[in-house]
Each structure stands twice: as structure tokens, then as C-alpha cells.
Structure 1
Amino acid sequence: MRQRVITAVVALALFIPIIYVGGIAIEVTAAVLAVVAVYELFRMKELNIVSFEGIISAIGAVLLVLPKERWFFFLPANVDTFSLFYLTVLLLLGAAVISKNMYTIDEAGFPVLVSLYAGMGFRDFVSARSESLIILFFGLLIVWATDIGAYMVGRQYGKNKLWPEISPNKTVEGAIGGIVSAVIVAAIYVLIFQGKQDFGHSISLVLIFTVIFSVVGQFGDLVESAVKRHFGVKDSGNILPGHGGILDRFDSLLFVFPIMHLFGIF
């Protein structure tokens, strides 16, 4: 526990200033985190990221994360970075021809899915910060409040297993506690900042969406647990002592921010 707390404090001390500054700092950080997430998924599958498909997958994730306006301004006005990402898909598919079908479409599917999963999640994380610091922290607080509420309520009152085949420690009571915690925190936050930030919807609708975001965040956690269980690993990595890997810390975020964007919060 002590190691977890120390790691969390150090990580926040580094992370919060980057979030506050935004711009190039958060874009580069998100791109690096996306590459690390790609590496962790390749590592779980016992594939080498320093390979054709590994490098292409990492490049694909970076292309999705970095905004066109700053990094790819030279592209025609009607072309976005997703078009560049699709070139990586074509390259992976083309490998089947070059390798004379030694590399197949089934094998190409994994690096494409990996780069989409990591790239789109961190892309919308950056997009939220581009909208405003208030919006970014709104999403982060929902994720953090859900995690803390689920842990505390689950530990104290948890009896009914939520999904034991995937994550045996999670309980229904904990999941509900996470949702309630997220709604309470979101309500306080929106009431404080509603005069400074347009959340795109009425307060009541934002709180209804918060329930959805909290559920989505917990589902994202379960998805990562399912991936780890499939590959037979305890943690996605060991870059964060006491916490595991980047995916272990950002799994909920990678689901929540794309859904926030889909619901028009930013």
C-alpha cells in the first residue's frame, strides 16, 4: 500500500502540471502513453513491439493522438489524421502480399485493434483538454470518484460478485457505490463551474450522462481485466510500481473520454 501511495503521489506531481499547461506538453505525453499502451498489449501477447507490426501499430496510435492543427497542418483541408491512420492499416494488410501470405489478415487485426484502442482513447483525452481544463477534470473526476467509491463501498459492503469470471474481486455493491460517488462528485463540480463552462447540456442531463460514464468506466476496467485474463497476466506492465502498467491505470479513461465526446460534452 505504501508503494502504491508513493507512486500515485509522484505520478500526480508530474501529471497535474502537464494537464494544466496543456498544448504540446499534453499532446506529447498522451502520444507517449499511447505507445506504452501498445507496447503493453504486444507484451501480453508475447509479441515484440520492435517488429514491423509493432512499429506500425505504435505509429498508428500516435497518428490518432496528435491533432492535425499542430502536427499535420500540411495536410489538405479535407484530410484528417484518421486518413493517415488508415495508411497503417493498408500497410499491415499489404504485408500479406509481401510475405506471400506468411503474414495474414488475422494477424494484422491485432495491431490495428491495439492502435485504435490506445490511440482513440488518448486522442479524446487530448481533445477534452483542448476544449478546456474544466472539461478534462470533469472526466478525470468521474473516473477517480468511480474507482474510489467502488473500492470503498465494495470493501465495506460487497457481497454479490459483479463478474467473477472476469474480475473476482469486484462486487455489485461496489459498482453501485462507484456510480453514486461519481454522481455526487459530478453534481458538486458542475454546480461550481457551470458559470464558467458550458457542459453542452442541462445539469440534470449531465448527471444522467455521468451515470452512463461511470458504468462505461467500470466496463472499461472489466475489458482490460478480460484481456489480462485471456493472456494469463496479472498486470499489463510494471512501469508504475504498486499499480502495474499504463493500461492498468488508464483502462477506464480510454473508454470514458470517447463516450463523453460522443455525448457532446466536448
Structure 2
Amino acid sequence: MSDVKTSQRILLSIAVGDAYGAGFEFEAPEVVERENDGKHYRKRAGFTPGHYTDDTQMTLAIWDAVRLGGPFTPRYLADRFVYVYHRDPRPGYARGFEGVLKACKNGTELLEKLKPTSDRNGAAMRSVPLGLLLSIPKVKAYAKIQAAITHNTPGGIASSQAVGLMAHFGLKRLGKLSELAAFLEKNVPGTPWSEPWKEEVPLHGIATVRAALTALLACRKQSNLLRAAVAFTGDTDSVAAIALGCSACFAEYQQDLPSVLIRGLENGPYGRDYLKALETTK
């Protein structure tokens, strides 16, 4: 499934989920319930409807690192993080991390300035492209490397590994979607992946991935998945970006993203057409 068409579908799914979810992030439950129709990008202060956030931008940094096949090292990845931010600054970054990115000219400076002690979801939200790698051990190893740059904690690393493996499981046809939670419990032990998430989603790596997994397992259509991911409330853009990106990796999923959302996705220098043009290999 790792052809051009699949790569386009994955990136567009992530971007649409991110942009749609951004309109509902940490809004009141009654607002989410009333307006989460899956048919329009919601306007929210500080965000332009239909524009993706840091979730997609950081994913593009990892995508390029995987696609180009260069040395998957902290220095190389940090360079990519700095590069994608400065070429196209946009909202959504944690305030402290954005401040560091602004102050850095390259990855060496970023690595020197960062204190990677967070267990939030920044490492998980950018990990879907790791599913393209050829083996489970490689997915886990690369997920640990990239997570440790910013989230060198057990939860930060485990959440990154789980997202990469969710995508890998689908792309490599390792089993039925209904078997995914058991697969994660075997390969990323210590988290009850089989237990459905039922609460508002905090800015926490494991919680975000559990919510995305719960929504992914409950649906078989992307149109339904988008609404289910946002319905949790809380950090809705990260949950939707991860869930939609992983759904694009599964043959069992009906790829029926609403055309109005695809058409409404931003189309600037790094928008819809740019995402469609990216491939999985050189």
C-alpha cells in the first residue's frame, strides 16, 4: 500500500483531521456536540478555518526524513523540525517549544536548548509516517529516536511507538483492524490499549493515542471517524490527525473524507496540492 496514492491519502487525511479538529480544541462539550457535523471547518480565534497546525507540520518533517532515507539521527531530525517551522510558521505549537524553534537556526542549536522531559503528545502526533518503515523493530527504534528529541520520557516514547505501529499494522496487512489493540499490547506493553477511552483528551501522549485508537476501532468510515475523534473533546486536532492518518493505512476503512473538507483545505505553498505531490520515496 505504500504507493503514491496511499501516501497522498495518508497526508491529506492527517491534514484534514488536524484542520477540522483545530476548530474544536478544548471547546465546551456543548459547542462540540452542536457543531461537530463533519461538514465544515469551524472558525476559532487565532486559527484560520481549513488551515492545519503544528501536528501536520511536524509530521511533514518526519515524512521527509523517512521518505528521503537519510541518517535518522537526532541532529538530522532536529534540522528538519527547525526547517519546516521557519519555512512556514503557523499556530498550534506549545508556547515554550515555539519560542525555542524561533530562536534556533539549525538542529544543533535546537538540541542544545531543548529540555526533553515532557510526556505530552507532541512526539505521538507526528509519528504516522513511521508506519512506512519495513519492520516492527525499525518502527520502534525510529519512534524512540524521534520522540527523545522533545519527549524523552516513557510516555512520550511509548505513545510515538504506538502511533507508528498502528500505521505499520495497517500498511503491512499484519492482521484485522479488530486485532490492533492486542498487537499494541504485545509490542508496546504497559498500557491498556484494549480499554476504550471515554473522557476528554488531555495534552498527554498516551491519553491522546488511546483516544485515537478507540475512535479508529469503533468506525469503518473516515467520515464517521472524524466526528468520533472530535467528540471526545479536549485536544481534538491531535486525536483526529492521528486517527485519520492511521485510517488511511487500512484497507478495511472506507476512504470517504467529505469532499467539502478536502476542497476547503488550505492550498498555499504547503497546502493541499503540495501534500498530494509528496511521495513515499525519492
Structure of greater relative contact order (alpha carbons < 8 Å, 6+ residues apart): 2
Task: Give the TM-score taking structure 1 as reference length.
Answer: 0.36
Task: Tell me which protein shows more helix as a share of its residues.
Answer: 1
Task: Give the TM-score taking structure 2 as reference length.
Answer: 0.35
Q: Which has the larger radius of gyration?
A: 1
